[in-house]
Amino acid sequence: MKTDATKKDSKFVAVIRLSRWREHVPYTIPLTVFGGLLALEPQAAAADWRLFAVLAGNVLTMSFAFMLNNIEDARDDALDPQKMRRNVISNGQLSRREGVWFTIIAFAAALGLYLASGVLTLVIGGVTLALCYLYSAHPFRFKARPLTDVISHALMLSGLLVAVGYFTYGAEPREVWLVITAASLFSAYGQFYNQVVDYDVDKEAGLKNTAVLLGKGPTSILGHLSIAVALLCMLAAILQGLFPAWLGTILVIGVITTVIFPWELDMRGNLASDGGNVQRPGLIVANLLALVWLASNMGLITIL
């Protein structure tokens, strides 16, 4: 028989699982840090508490997005055994009411952190939170509508995260739009990839997203095209000198390692297909680049 303490521990674990932090923290950290540092480096300024505040705000915003998605998709996820195990609302670990309350807390905490970090940060962070809501919540359900599913996903899960970090310190992004565009396109690829993987379940559930409209083949092609254009944007950003030259050494080593040692699982823990086996090692490289650059910016390490 479970004690009160055990029940509380179970609820705590369920809330952590509801946030699905493993799926978003690995990209939220580098995107936010890159955004802030892209604004700070031209000013020869060091990161302060605001970068860490917006980082926490972005993590909470992504948690809000995934929590709300689990709540709104609970019935559909119950149709798929694998999704039901992952969704704590579908499998009964948390009630819908409990899930809603924890989602509201995440929303309010994120908004408070954005407010403390500046007006532009609050505006862009607020737009991100709004898109997170519109993406999953009924009756809007951007995720179930062709085109809006990809655009909203690309912005709220990548492009706007970079923008929040950048506009905490800068006001004129200029060439930084290349990085914001690249991040958005990488996210669009992730959406296309996920829709191809979920095609059968989504179609059975009656979703009318981009993949269901176009079919698996064209959706997969769009995913590869997004990656190609994103890489071109990043190459242009590098040639514009937006990043310290010494980061190139870490990047080259990371890319070679990623190609030689691809992983078997994608970001959601499923068997990878269609390029999904480079998602996790690619994010490891991105986090390494971001954290080393941040440490250098704050004077914690010296790069010769």
CATH code of residue 203: 1.10.600
Separation of alpha carbons 226 and 292, rounded Å: 27
Report if residue 5 sits inside a domain.
no
- Amino acid found at 234: M
Supply φ then ψ for residue 271, to 5 degrees. Answer: -60, 130
Residue numbers in the chain where pLDDT is lower than 50? 1, 5
Coil, helix or strand for 194? helix
Structure token digits, residue 195: 């829709």
Helix (H/G/I), strand (E/B), else coil: 265 = strand
Domain presence at residue 215: yes
Q: Which residue in this structure is represented by tokens 């007006």?
A: 119
Number of folded domains in the chain?
Answer: 1
Output the pTM of the full model: 0.90
Q: Does the residue 12 lie in any domain? A: no
Expressed as residue numbers, the domain containing 56 is 17-297
> Mind listing the pLDDT tens digit for each residue in 99-135?
999 999 999 999 999 999 999 999 999 999 999 999 9
**CB-based contacts of 297, cutoff 8 Å, min separation 6:** 37, 40, 41, 46, 47
What burial class does residue 232 get, using C-beta atoms within 10 Å of its C-beta: 0-12 exposed, 13-18 middle, 19+ buried?
middle
Query: How far is Cα 258 from Cα 261, in angstroms, rounded to an integer?
Result: 5
Q: Extract the tokens encoding 146.
A: 């062709």
Question: Is residue 10 assigned to a domain?
Answer: no
**90 in a domain, yes or no?**
yes
CA 247, 250, 256, 262 dihedral sign is negative
Asked if residue 271 belongs to a domain, the reply is yes
User: 44: left (phi > 0), else alpha (psi -120 to 50), else beta?
Assistant: left
Q: Which residue has the tokens 């030259």?
A: 245
What residues are paired with 265 via a beta bridge?
271
Q: pLDDT (tens digit, 9 = 90+) per residue, 245-276? A: 999 998 888 888 877 776 665 666 666 566 66
Cα torsion angle, 22, 286, 279, 193, sign: positive
Question: Residue 1 has what pLDDT?
Answer: 45
Separation between Cα atoms, residue 136 and residue 250, nearest integer Å = 37
Q: Are 240 and 176 in contact (CB under 8 A)?
A: no
